[in-house]
Amino acid sequence: MAMDAGEIQTLIKEALPDAHVEIRDLAGDGDHFAAVVVSKEFSGKTRVQQHQLVYQALKGKMGDELHALALQTSAPES
């Protein structure tokens, strides 16, 4: 079962309420997305830790309903 961009955005925003989230469907199949996520929660965290926060927000759907997610994460510029 595929996900849609709105569902991905909602899950991320629930976990990271301050986040600016942009989702793009890369193949038009609901399985391959790219996401840009900017959140204060990422401040002081490594890229791996930032990505882990996003994967946690997806509540186990990564690799099941969501096949691929290319992530670009960062903290807001001061």
* Residue 14: other Cβ atoms inside 10 A: 11
Q: What's the confidence (pLDDT) of residue 30?
A: 78
Domain containing 64 equals: 5-74
pTM for the model stands at 0.89
Q: What's the confidence (pLDDT) of residue 72?
A: 98
d(CA 61, CA 58): 6
Predicted confidence (pLDDT) per residue in 6-60, tens digit: 999 999 999 999 999 999 999 887 788 999 999 999 999 999 999 999 999 998 8
Q: What's the confidence (pLDDT) of residue 1?
A: 60
CATH number for the domain that contains residue 36: 3.30.300.90
Q: What's the confidence (pLDDT) of residue 17?
A: 97
Q: How many domains are there within the chain?
A: 1
